[in-house]
Amino acid sequence: MTETSTRETASGGSTSRGAGAAPHTPARPSRAAGLRDLSNWADWAALVGLIVLVVIFQSLNSTFLSPGNIQSMLVASAILIVLAIGQTFVVATAGIDLSVASTMTLAAVVFGMVFTAGHGLPLSMAAAVVAGAMVGLVNGLLVARGRITDFIVTLGTLSAASGLALILSDGKPATIISAPLLKLSTGSIGIFGYSVIVALVIALIAHIVLFRTRFGTHVLATGGNAEAANATGVRTKRVKTWVYVISGVLAGIGSILLVARVGAAEPAANTAFLLNSVAAVVLGGVSLFGGRATIIGPVIGALLLTALVNGLTLLGVSQFYQPLSVGIVVVLAAFLTRFQK
C-alpha cells in the first residue's frame, strides 16, 4: 500500500514540482504542471461524468437512485466491466481487441453445446473459458509473432468467431435451464447482484496483476516503449500474446454471465459490447497509445455507459437515441484524453 500512495504522489504532485527543480532544467515547470493538472482531470473524466449523469438523472427522475434501480444498473454493467478489463490489458500494450464481443458469442455457443450435450455446468463453463482463451491465443500469436497489425488480426477474428458461432449453433439459440445459473443472474448480496460481484472480484484481481506483479509492469513497459522494454530483457512478444489471451479468457467469463442473464446461448452478434468495451476503456482514461492504464477507470467507464442507457430508458427517451448519446459521451471523453501526456 505504501508504494501506491507514493507513486500517486509522484505522478500527481504537480503543485510542488517546480520548487525543487535544479536550476538547469528547462524553465517551464508551471506550464508542465498546468498540463499535468488537466491530464489528471482527464484521468478522472469517467468519474466526473458518472457523477454528473447521476445528478442529472436523479433530479429528473427520483427512482433513478432507488436501491432497486441501482441494483439493476450494477447487474446490467457486469458483462461490460468484465470485457472492458480484458480490453484494458490489450490497450495497455498499445493494441486493440476488436474481437471481444464475437469471442464472447462463440464462447456462449460452446457453453450451450457442451451443456446441451449433458456435460453439466462446471464443464460447460470451463469449455466457454477455454474457447475464449483459444481465440485470444490466436489473436496474440498473430499479433506478436506474425507481426500483423492488431486491428486487422482482431477484425479477422471478429468475423471468424461470429461465423464459427453461427456454424456451430446452426444459427439457433440453445435454451439453458440451470438453477445455479439462474441464481447467478438473479441472486444478490444487498444491492450487489452475484454477477456484479464476479465482475468486481475480477477487477480486483486485474488491478493486482497490473500494478503488483512483474507481468503487469511488463505490460505497461511494452505499451510505453516496446524497444526499451525488449532491450532490458522484457519478453515483449510473450507479453503481447498473453494480453490477448487474458482478453479472450475474460470474454469467456463474460459469456457465462451472458448465458445466465439471457437463459440461452445465442449466436447473436453483440456488437454493442465491442463498441462499449472500447468506449469504457477510453472513458476510463486508458491511453490508446499504450503504457498508461488503470482498472478502476474502465470499471467506472462501464458503469457510466450503463447508467447513461438506464437513465435515458427511465426518462422514456426512445431507444434510438441511446447509441447516439453513447457516441457523444465517448467522443467527449476522447477529446479529454488529448490533454493526457
Q: Contact with another protein (CB under 8 A): which of 225, 237, 263, 334?
A: 225
| Pick 117 or 208: Cβ nearer another protein | 208
Residues in the chain: 341
Q: Contact with another protein (CB under 8 A): which of 22, 177, 179, 189?
A: 22
Cβ contact 152:139 at 8 Å? no
Grid coordinates standing for 182? Answer: 439462474
Least distance to another protein from the beta carbon of 7, Å? 5
Using CB under 8 A as the binding rule, whether residue 291 contacts another protein is answered as yes
Using CB under 8 A as the binding rule, whether residue 15 contacts another protein is answered as no
Grid coordinates standing for 55? Answer: 445528478
Residue 265's DSSP bridge partners are: 174
Q: Contact with another protein (CB under 8 A): which of 67, 227, 318, 320?
A: 227
| Pick 6 or 30: Cβ nearer another protein | 6
| Pick 165 or 286: Cβ nearer another protein | 286
HEC per residue, 71-110: HHHHHHHHHHHHHHHHHHHHHHCCCCCCCHHHHHHHHHHH
Task: Residue 67: name the closest of 160, 213, 192, 177 by CA.
Answer: 192
How far is CA 261 from each of CA 95, 203, 274, rounded to the nearest angstrom?
Answer: 30, 20, 18
SS3 call for 189: strand
Using CB under 8 A as the binding rule, whether residue 341 contacts another protein is answered as yes
Using CB under 8 A as the binding rule, whether residue 135 contacts another protein is answered as no
| Pick 204 or 208: Cβ nearer another protein | 208
Which helix (H) or strand (E) segment holds residue 295: the answer is none
- Pick the piece of the chain touching another protein (CB under 8 A) from 2-10, 96-104, 139-147, 304-312: 2-10
| Pick 55 or 205: Cβ nearer another protein | 205
| Pick 19 or 177: Cβ nearer another protein | 19
117 contacts: CB under 8 Å, gap ≥ 6:
none
Using CB under 8 A as the binding rule, whether residue 204 contacts another protein is answered as no
User: CB neighbours (10 Å) of residue 145?
Assistant: 12
252 contacts: CB under 8 Å, gap ≥ 6:
103, 104, 107, 128, 129, 130, 131, 132, 133
> Number of residues in contact with another protein, rule: CB under 8 A?
39
Q: Contact with another protein (CB under 8 A): which of 39, 120, 200, 220?
A: 220
Q: What character string, x for contact with another protein (CB under 8 A) and - otherwise, covers 240-279?
A: ----------------------------------------
Q: Contact with another protein (CB under 8 A): which of 58, 71, 188, 217?
A: 217
Grid coordinates standing for 136? Answer: 485470444
Distance CA 165, CA 162 (A): 5
Using CB under 8 A as the binding rule, whether residue 147 contacts another protein is answered as no
- Pick the piece of the chain touching another protein (CB under 8 A) from 21-29, 157-165, 198-206, 320-328: 21-29
Instruction: Give the footprint of another protein on residues 163-202 (CB under 8 A).
Output: none
Q: What character string, x for contact with another protein (CB under 8 A) and - otherwise, covers 24-63?
A: xxx-----x-------------------------------
Whole-angstrom distance between the N-terminal and C-terminal Cα of the chain?
A: 25
Cβ contact 106:202 at 8 Å? no
Using CB under 8 A as the binding rule, whether residue 18 contacts another protein is answered as no
**Residues 101/104/109/114 CA torsion (nearest 10 deg):** 170
Which helix (H) or strand (E) segment holds residue 16: the answer is none
Site residues (vs another protein, CB under 8 A): 2-3, 5-7, 9-11, 13, 16-17, 20, 22-26, 32, 208, 212-214, 217-218, 220-221, 223-225, 227-229, 231-234, 291-292, 341
